[in-house]
Every structure is written in structure tokens, then in C-alpha cells.
Amino acid sequence: MESEQVMLPGWALAQQSYSPTDGAASSEKDASESARKPRFQPINREQLFWRQVDVERLIAEDHAARAIWEFVGKLDLSGYSKEIRAVEGMAGRPALNPQLLVSLWVYAYSQGVGSAREIEQLCEWDPAYQWLTGTEVVNAHSLSDFRVAHKEALQGLFVQILALLSADGLITLERVMQDGTKIRASAASDSFRKKERIEQAIEQAQQQVEAVDGIAEEESSRRAAKARERAQRERQQRLEAALKEFEDLADEGDHKDQEKRRVSTTDPQARVMKQPGGGFAPSYNVQLNTDAANGVVVAVEVVQAGNDFEQLTPGVERVEQNLGETPDQVVADGGYVSRDNIVEMKSRGVEFIGPQCDEAGKGKSSYEGRGVSPEYYSSQFVYDAASDSFRCPQGKILSYEGKEERNTQVSYRYRAQRSDCQGCAVKGQCCPGNRVTGRSVHRSEELPEVAEFRHKMQTEEARKIYRQRAQVAETPNLWIKAKFGLRQFSVRGLRKVGLEALWACLTYNIRVWIRLRWRPLGEVATAAA
């Protein structure tokens, strides 16, 4: 019988071929290879080490941090020293230099950093922040408190910067552009509640605070218990602030509006506003006045109103307050065009440039806000003096309804039949929100100031000036949002939000000075030689 050949796996073959002699030879080979194996230096990340650092060489001579430090050094920062308790010759830890804190925040905003915690981390490794601090780490709490604790000093700082820029010939006030931009609040849309819901939430919060107080002594970790207690109390305070906001708004709107009104429990002073890209969100309206000569922001204010109609005159007054002069000309978009604004600017001796309006002083924006199409603006309705009536673009008659008086201005109201409008195919374009009555238009005696404005805006010179508005007025808005990262406020409340907007604007102005006037010390020395 012939033997069968069996295929064994590799490990079995290795076992069959193993012998003690072969094993000894293999050990000698391994030892020989180990003797030739490269040896590398180990990496120990737990060791502590010291090294010499030349702080001046951390950043280049033309670095923006040097320019900011130099500019801030020109400012009078005594307004920040009033609350400092550590004084020469007495005990106490020295306070942080206001020049350092202002420079840190200005540089941080210019780099799109708006968080005190992030600045603290950057001070540990980023060369620019290390140069500003001299390699010392600045506490995040100190940075955060400094940003929002000195309103008067910061406003004074903003005015000082304007004075320096004006002395350098960067501000003329020959032409000032005014524009408003919506910046989201630090609050979610679902944080808005009715008054009844907030009152119920306050009761629940009080119960939760009492419950935390009761178990605080029984907790194994008192620190955790205290943290929960603090969180609950802060929530209760926010709810109480929201309830107070209802009381502050009690005089606004009719009873029906009061029933529908909602207030955010996160940021009670925020308002739901229409966004430029569409939709609605909790926001604040940031009003900027920009000098057309070099794009310097000469005034800034944060308001809660979603529209711009009532912001033109306050903007001009802020410019006067900051620089002591009235601008020769103010340019604004259709959101600011109204009969009252036209008359007010005329009385102040300020030339007003804006888009065209109708005889009543109403601009394009007054119709867009209600969803009215251009084909159905009041100017498209034809008045017939013989019958004292209007004819709409669809051929329907609007009859005289009554007279209205406002600020000594008399207007006459004409209204269409409800049945004519309800069955009209273009109702959604003409009067989309009107469900009770028909479309109405007003006829008023055109004021001389409005007639002058309308005639002026028909000239090519005025139209050319208005076309420059977007480039000048919207540039700071774009910088603040895109470059500085302020698409949403990091703080809450009208006061703190106003301070953050002020920080962003003075940072923008310093950047303008750096771009147009600053030269590194090396270049200055070379030029002098």
C-alpha cells in the first residue's frame, strides 16, 4: 500500500523542522540584529523645562499688535483708574494696566476673537498675545469684567479715537452715511414666552431653589450643590427680568398687542426682527454713522426698534455729540425716508439724500415692509379731482373716507370697497394683510420740503451720491460681522450689547488708522535718517 502525502499547515511544518540546534542559531542571529538596531531619543512630555525667550522677537516690526499698542498708548485711560484700589505706597496686588486690557480686546476683535476664555488660552501660546502681555497670562474673568464694566470710560475712549483721527485729517463730516444692521442676540427663538408662562416658570424656579437649599447640606459635594443653587438663582433672576420687561412695555401697543406679546427669558431686552437674508430671529438693531471720506465710524448706537424710520435724527445728534459738529450731508437708504425726517433734516441745515418718495414722503421701504408690490404703491393710484376719488390699477374706485391730522399735517383717506378687494386676483400684491377692510390710500398737501427733496432726487448728481451709499455705509457692517466675527452678540442685555458694538466699532476705526497712517518704528527711523 502506497503512503499518502499529507499537506500540513505552516505552523505544523515549522514544528516538524524545529531542533534545539536551530533554536540556538536563531538566538545568536537575533542578538546580532539587536546590536545593530538604531537607538532614538525618547520623548517625555511630562518634564518641565525653562528656556530664554526674547519677547521683542516674537512678532515682526510691522505686526498689527505693535500698531494697536502704540495707538492705545496715545489715549487717556484715566477713566479706567477710578475703581483701582491698589495705589503706590500701600498694600495690595497691583492691578492690570488698562493699556494692556484695551489692547488685548482691540487686537482680539480684529482677529475675530470675542471670548475672554479664548483670549486667556491664546495668551499662553500665541506670539502676538504673548508680546502684548509680556508672556504673562491674563485671567478670563478679569478680561470679561473689564469689557462690560466701564461704559462711560469706553464711550470716552471712542470719542478720543475720533478726535485723533480727525486731527490726522481722516474725518471731514462733509458727507455721513447712516445704516442699520441686525445682529442676532444671544437667545434662541423658542426662549420667547407669554407673560402667563413666565409667571408659572418663576414659581417653579423658586421651588427648585428651595429644594436645592434643602439638600445642600446632605450633598457629598457641597461645591456641586452650590453650583446648582447658583444656576437656579440665575435662572430665576432672568425670569424676573423678563417679567419686568412686560411691565416696561405696558404702555406700548393696544390691548390686543399686549395679549400677543412675548419676551425672551434668555435676553428679555432682545426683539424678534426680520433678517437681511430672510426669516426672523431675536436681534438688536445696530445703527452706524460712517464718514464718507475714509470710512470712519463716527457714531454707533444699539436700539431695540426693528425699523429705521425714527433713527435718523438721533444718529445725527450722536455725530454732533461725538465731534462737536453737524454733518453737512447725511445719506441713508429707504428705511429712513419719511416726511418727518425730510422736514427735520431741512430744519437742522443738513442736506438729506435718499431714494425717491411719493408726495406724502413715503419711501419704498414703507411698502416693502407690508409686502406691497411696486405696481401697487400709492403713487400708482390715479386721483380724479372731479369725483374726489382714486382709481386703482385694477380699475376699482376708492372713495373719500375721512381726514387725518398728524403733526400739523393734514391728509385725506380714501378706501376701496371690501368686496372689491376680497375677490381681487392681485390682493396678495396690493393689500396682503388686510382682511377686514379694503385697500386705502392717502392724499395730502405736499409740503415744500418734500417737494424739494423729490425734485433733488430726480437729478443725476443726487442719484450718483446715493449710489455711493452702499459701498461706504455697509463696509463697517461687513467688517464687524465677517472679519471681527460679530454675527451674534456674546453678551446679553441692551447695555452690554451696546458696549460690545462699541468695542467692535472703535477696533474698526483703529484698523483704519493703521491702514492709512501707521508706520513701524524702523521705517520711521529710516525716513528720519
3-class secondary-structure state, position 178 = strand
Instruction: For residue 22, tell me if it sits in a domain.
Output: no
Domain boundary among 264, 287, 308: 264
Which has the higher per-residue pLDDT, 441 or 314?
Answer: 314
Residue 35, pLDDT > 60, answer: yes
Work out how many domains the chain is built from and give that number.
3
Task: Give the pLDDT band (50/70/90) at residue 369.
Answer: low
The mean pLDDT value for 508-522 works out to 90
Residues 78, 145, single domain; the answer is: yes
Distances (CA, A) of 213 to 217, 221, 224, 232: 8, 14, 12, 10
Which cell is 26 given?
A: 536563531
Residue 437, pLDDT > 60, answer: yes
- The least confident of 10-24, 131-145, 342-356 is 10-24
Task: Give the pLDDT band (50/70/90) at residue 298.
Answer: very high
The mean pLDDT value for 441-454 works out to 85
- The least confident of 127-131, 326-330, 359-363, 494-498 is 359-363
Q: pLDDT by residue (tens digit) across 99-117?
A: 999 999 999 999 999 999 9
The mean pLDDT value for 439-445 works out to 84
When the pLDDT of each residue in the chain is averaged and rounded to a whole number, the result is 82
Instruction: For residue 129, tell me if it sits in a domain.
Output: yes
Which has the higher per-residue pLDDT, 430 or 236?
Answer: 430
The answer to whether the CB of 390 falls within 8 A of the CB of 359 is no
Q: Where are the alpha helices (DSSP H) in 37-178?
A: 64-72, 98-110, 116-125, 127-133, 140-148, 151-167
What pLDDT score was predicted for residue 63? 95
- Ordered DSSP codes for 439-494: -EEEEEPPPHHHHHHHHHTTSHHHHHHHHTHHHHHHHHHHIIIIIS--SB-SS-SH
Instruction: For residue 89, tell me if it sits in a domain.
Output: yes
Contacts of 188 (CB under 8 A, 6+ apart): 266, 282
Residues 145, 64, single domain; the answer is: yes
Instruction: For residue 394, tell me if it sits in a domain.
Output: yes
The mean pLDDT value for 487-497 works out to 92
Instruction: For residue 46, tell me if it sits in a domain.
Output: no
pTM of the model: 0.75
Q: What is the domain range of residue 386?
A: 372-445
What pLDDT score was predicted for residue 297? 97
Residue 217, pLDDT > 60, answer: no
What pLDDT score was predicted for residue 362? 67
Q: Identify the CA nearest to 227 among candidates 211, 216, 238, 242.
A: 216
Residue type, 319: V
What pLDDT score was predicted for residue 522? 65
Query: Alpha-carbon distance 487 to 480, whole Å?
Result: 8
Residue 418, pLDDT > 80, answer: yes
Instruction: For residue 468, tell me if it sits in a domain.
Output: no
Residues 75, 137, single domain; the answer is: yes
Q: pLDDT by residue (tens digit) across 328-346?
A: 999 999 889 988 899 999 9
Residue 14, pLDDT > 50, answer: no
Residue 250, pLDDT > 80, answer: no
Which has the higher per-residue pLDDT, 108 or 25?
Answer: 108
The mean pLDDT value for 378-401 works out to 91
Q: pLDDT by residue (tens digit) across 460-481?
A: 999 999 999 988 988 998 899 9
3-class secondary-structure state, position 502 = helix
- Longest alpha-carbon distance in the chain: 133
Residue 48, pLDDT > 90, answer: no
- Ordered DSSP codes for 389-432: EEE-TTS-EEEEEEEEEETTEEEEEEEE-HHHHHT-TTHHHH-T
Q: Identify the CA nearest to 368 among candidates 274, 442, 474.
A: 274
Residues 132, 61, single domain; the answer is: yes
The mean pLDDT value for 415-439 works out to 87
Which has the higher per-residue pLDDT, 292 or 51?
Answer: 292
Residue 123, pLDDT > 70, answer: yes
Task: Give the pLDDT band (50/70/90) at residue 255.
Answer: very low
Q: Identify the CA nearest to 154 among candidates 93, 76, 44.
A: 76
What pLDDT score was predicted for residue 95? 77
What pLDDT score was predicted for residue 434? 74
- The least confident of 4-8, 131-135, 422-426 is 4-8
The mean pLDDT value for 366-373 works out to 69
Sequence length of the chain is 529
Task: Give the pLDDT band (50/70/90) at residue 364.
Answer: low
Instruction: For residue 145, tell me if it sits in a domain.
Output: yes
Which has the higher per-residue pLDDT, 260 or 168?
Answer: 168
Task: Give the pLDDT band (50/70/90) at residue 309.
Answer: confident
- The least confident of 120-129, 245-254, 331-340 is 245-254
- The least confident of 64-78, 158-172, 408-422 is 408-422
Domain boundary among 245, 264, 283: 264
Phi and psi of 50, rounded to 5°? -120, 140
Task: Give the pLDDT band (50/70/90) at residue 40.
Answer: confident
- The least confident of 85-94, 236-245, 474-483 is 236-245
Query: Alpha-carbon distance 103 to 89, whole Å?
Result: 27
Percent of the chain predicted with pLDDT > 90: 45
CA angle 524, 528, 529 (to 5 degrees): 120
Residue 507, pLDDT > 50, answer: yes
Instruction: For residue 357, tell me if it sits in a domain.
Output: no
- Ordered DSSP codes for 293-308: TTTEEEEEEEES-SSS
Residues 145, 193, single domain; the answer is: no
Element (H, E) at 289: strand 280-291
Residues 379, 441, single domain; the answer is: yes
Query: Alpha-carbon distance 295 to 476, whole Å?
Result: 8
Which cell is 54 given?
A: 526674547
What pLDDT score was predicted for residue 260? 54
What pLDDT score was predicted for residue 73? 94
The answer to whether the CB of 442 falls within 8 A of the CB of 378 is yes
Domain boundary among 401, 427, 445: 445
Residue type, 187: A
Residues 134, 218, single domain; the answer is: no
Q: pLDDT by residue (tens digit) across 175-213?
A: 999 999 999 999 888 777 666 665 555 565 555 555 555
